Amino acid sequence: ARRNAMTLLTEIMEEMSAPPLIEHPFFRSFRHKHPKLLNQLCCEALVPVFHSAPEVVFTVGESCSMMYVIINGQAQYAAQLPPPRDSPAGTPGTQVRKMLQSGQWLSEAALWTGWVHRGELRTLCDCLFFGLEAGRFARVISSQKSAHAFAASYARKFVEGLNRSIQSDITEAGPVD
């Protein structure tokens, strides 16, 4: 009976958390290649995070150890981004403000590289997020050689793209744009 209860709990966690996660291109592909490992990720690496309104979720310069997926609510991301690397000296940076809502993610970089928040995230109403913890994510992914290779390949491409772009917590890969 204990095993059946654990199996049921695993299935419930996967049913709740997989749909928002598989909106992301990496996890959509990962689900097809490693469905059981995705279930394990949902149970072992995703944590619900609730923030009331108005509340600051994170600020510039804070160390980041999780990717966030907004499940319910709205938040605003604001950052002062530096000018492009090839800009003349004295060129001002760009102020970025993005409204975020259910199904959008941010801080994906925390999964693939050391990351410090480049902006501030503030809730506009009560918000529920799923946080995908980088350490737990790495532990689960590393448990299967082929899953680890798939993630490492994606990570290399992600970090290369990040190094070419203006860095913020919101990546081009996300449906935020």
DSSP state of 162: H
Q: Indicate whether this model's pTM tops 0.85.
A: no
Tokens describing residue 2? 């204990």
pLDDT level of residue 157 (50, 70, 90 thresholds): very high
Task: List the chain domain ranges.
Answer: 2-164
Of residues 67 and 163, the one with the higher pLDDT is: 67
Task: State pLDDT tens for residues 95-138.
Answer: 889 999 998 999 999 999 999 999 999 999 999 999 999 999 99
Of residues 94 and 84, the one with the higher pLDDT is: 94
In this predicted structure, what is the pLDDT of residue 171?
64
Q: Tell the residue number behind the tokens 């689960």, with chain if given.
A: 140
**At residue 20, does pLDDT exceed 50?**
yes
Task: State pLDDT tens for residues 30-60.
Answer: 999 999 899 889 889 988 899 999 999 999 9
Please state, in angstroms and rounded to a whole number, the distance separating the CA atoms of residues 145 and 147: 6
Please state, in angstroms and rounded to a whole number, the distance separating the CA atoms of residues 20 and 102: 8
CATH 2.40.50.500 fits 2-164, yes or no: no
Task: State pLDDT tens for residues 55-75.
Answer: 999 999 999 999 999 999 999
Return the number of other C-beta atoms located less than 10 Å from residue 90's C-beta. Answer: 6
In this predicted structure, what is the pLDDT of residue 5?
56
Helix (H, G, I), strand (E, B) or coil at 175: coil
